[in-house]
Each structure stands twice: as C-alpha cells, then as structure tokens.
Amino acid sequence: MSTEIDYYELLQCERTADDATIKSSYRKLAMKYHPDKNAGCKDSEAKFKAISEAYDCLKDPQKRAAYDRFGHAAFRNGGPGAGGGFGGGADFGGFSDIFESVFGEFMGGRAGGGAQQVRRGADLRYDLEITLEDAFHGKSDEITVDVSTACDTCEGTGATPGTGHRHCAMCGGAGKVRSQQGPFVFERSCPGCNGAGAVITDPCVKCRGEGRVETTRTIPFEIPPGVDHGTKLRLQGRGEAGARGAPAGDLYVFLHVKKHPIFAREGTTLFARAPISFTTAALGGEIELPGLDGQLHSIRVAPGTQSGRELRQRGAGMPVLQGRGHGDLVVRIEVETPTKLNARQRELLEAFRETETGEECPESTGFFAKIKAALG
C-alpha cells in the first residue's frame, strides 16, 4: 500500500474486537467493494485490496500480535513480522519449529528436506435442533452456511488463469528458512511463501491469490434413525476450503433433540406416564398409547395395579443407531382419584365402603395399624 492506513480503521473495528467481529466486518466490506460489483472502479478495487490486506493480517493471531505491537513496521524488511525476530536475534517461529529442527532427524524426518504442505481448510461446527420424531425416523435435511469454497476463476490455484508459480526466493523452494543462535540451528516456515515453497507470479483478482472465496452454500445431508441429543455428524470435505488447492476441512453437525410433550428418553428406552381410573386399576383392563412409530400400543393393566408401577412394552422404543432392533417403551402408571361423582356413583361407592373389611387395601390397613401400635 502506498499510504499506511490503520488496519482496524480499514475494517471499521475496535482494536479489542474479537475474531468473529473482525471476520463479519470484513465480509460486509468485501461484498461492498468487490471488483465484480464495481466493474471498472479503480477506487473500489484499491479499497478491496486494502481491506483484504488488513484482514489477512488480523485474522492470523501471530501477525495480529506483531501488528498490535509494531504497526506496519512489523512487516517491512527486517521487521519482526517479516522474519527478523522481535529482538533482532533469531526468530524461533514457536516451540513446534524448535522441536522439529532439533529432533526432526530422530523422529523419522529430515528438517528442511522439502516444501511444507499447505494446510487443509478449517473444520466448521453447526448446531441443529430436531424433534424426537426426527430422531426416531431419521430424515433428509439441509443447512445453509457461510463458508469459503475453491475459487471458480482460478480453480483453487490462487493464480490468474494462464499464469503459474515460481520458487520462493526467500527459501529457495524449501518452504522453510533457518536461523542460527550459537551452536543451534532452528527452522521455521518461510514467511515469504507461508511454507508452500512457491509464490504466485500473478494472483487471481477474484480470490486475491488465496484460491478460495467466501460464499453461502446449502448442504444436504442425512440424519440416521436413532440419533440422540449431542450426536455429532461429520460431513467430510464440507468445511472451509484449503488455501491454494489444499483439501477442505470437515463440517460437524451437532444435533440437539427438543423436549417431547409425552416421551422422555434414556438411550433406546422411551418413558411415558399414563394416568388411569381407579376402577381400571382395581379391575384391570387395557390402555392404548400412540408410539413414535405411528402405531397404537395396547398395554395390559393387571387387576390391583398400584400407582407408580412401570409396565414395559418390548420393541416400542427408539431404534438402535446404525444397528438393528428397537429399545423398549416403559409406561409409568398413575392412578387417578375421581374428583366429580354423580349421585349414582356416590351411592355405589358408599355401598362398597360398607362392605370393606380392610383386606382390600392391605398396605393402608397395615400402615394405620402400625401407627396405633406405636401410640399405644
């Protein structure tokens, strides 16, 4: 750049802005000043290159730290961000580079033996809320995400079509540079080519040499039957595109199952409560409960069933994820005492009470007998 405008000012962000804020601001400005939307406008093209340069710096934690401390001087020849080291001495490039340079030959590789591979794209996370019915049956779904994809103009190479790459003059195509301090020699990724070993002679205008562009993509995928809350689905190669043709990262979809009004779940077992009348509990009978499979499940209630008893219906629960069969449905019985009685019903219950001997409800009879004995 001919004039050194503050990077934060270019991106319209505070110096304390987090990564997400900086990325969001960059996307808005990039769409506003992109050459495709401002054909022939030199000012827009210059503005687009400026904000792209600012974002390339601030999105990298190490470059941002150097810029925050030294400003634009960090990236001039000999500056800290240009490979000269913060204190004028050797730049170790981080502990991983020290470890590799000292122990590389002992770990089965030779330090500096070739250009470093360009790193794959970043993985992405997407949180998706589904119903318990979706988890039971599975479904075909799709999500819309903002993601970087391979540039269609340069086909992901980062170079203008018809042009190519040349060996990096700083590292001679090795992808790494060495620095020495006393008897020790240290290696780090070449700052001139970011470890690729080559530089682009004529960067693609659309992607600014990155080989990837920001876009909104709709991605279809399948939710298999039996998934649970917290299940993670991996969509391979659907994450951020790698720079200059490197492999894309993965997209991870985390599933969150909504609370159901009837059923609760533990693994493949479904739980439900079923209030029944006291006559059904006393005389026995059947209740019908609709299952998530769309069928009515008839559950037999034995005579004398007490409140709190659990009845199990085999095979009426959740499907086994990536397996065969289903879990069980467990129904918890709750005996409901009538709150409204007509005259005839009251008459019949009074007649029943007159015939009670205490043997009909042995638990309550025994309980009050113990209280009387305790009180003398």
CA separation for the pair 252, 124 (Å, rounded): 6
The pairing of strands 124-130 and 251-257 is parallel
Number of H helices, E strands in the chain: 9, 15
204 is in an annotated binding site: yes
Give the count of beta carbons closer than 10 Å to the beta carbon of residue 53: 16
Helix 42-58 to helix 19-33 angle (10° resolution) is 160
CA distance 323 to 337: 43
Residues paired with residue 180 on neighbouring β-strands, in sequence order: 185
CA distances from 252 to 144, 240, 293 (A): 13, 12, 28
Question: Which tokens is 269 given?
Answer: 């077992």
Distance CA(19)–CA(329), nearest Å, equals 47
Task: Round to whole Å and give the CA distance between 192 and 195.
Answer: 8
Residue 57 labelled as part of a binding site? no
207 is in an annotated binding site: yes
**Is 13 annotated as a binding-site member?**
no
- Residue 133, helix vs strand vs coil: helix
Q: 232-241: b or e for each residue (b if 16 or more CB lie within 10 Å)?
A: ebebeebbbb
- Is 168 annotated as belonging to a binding site? yes
Looking at the DSSP bridge assignments, the partners of residue 330 are: 271, 312
Task: Give the span between the Cα atoms of 157 and 248, in whole angstroms.
Answer: 13
φ, ψ (nearest 5 deg) of residue 142:
-150, 150
151 known ligand binder: yes
**Which run of H or E residues covers position 274?**
strand 269-277
Full strand arrangement of the beta sheet holding 269-277: 264-266, 269-277, 329-336, 310-313
Numbered residues of the known binding site for Zn(2+): 151, 154, 168, 171, 190, 193, 204, 207
- Feature table: binding site: 151, 154, 168, 171, 190, 193, 204, 207
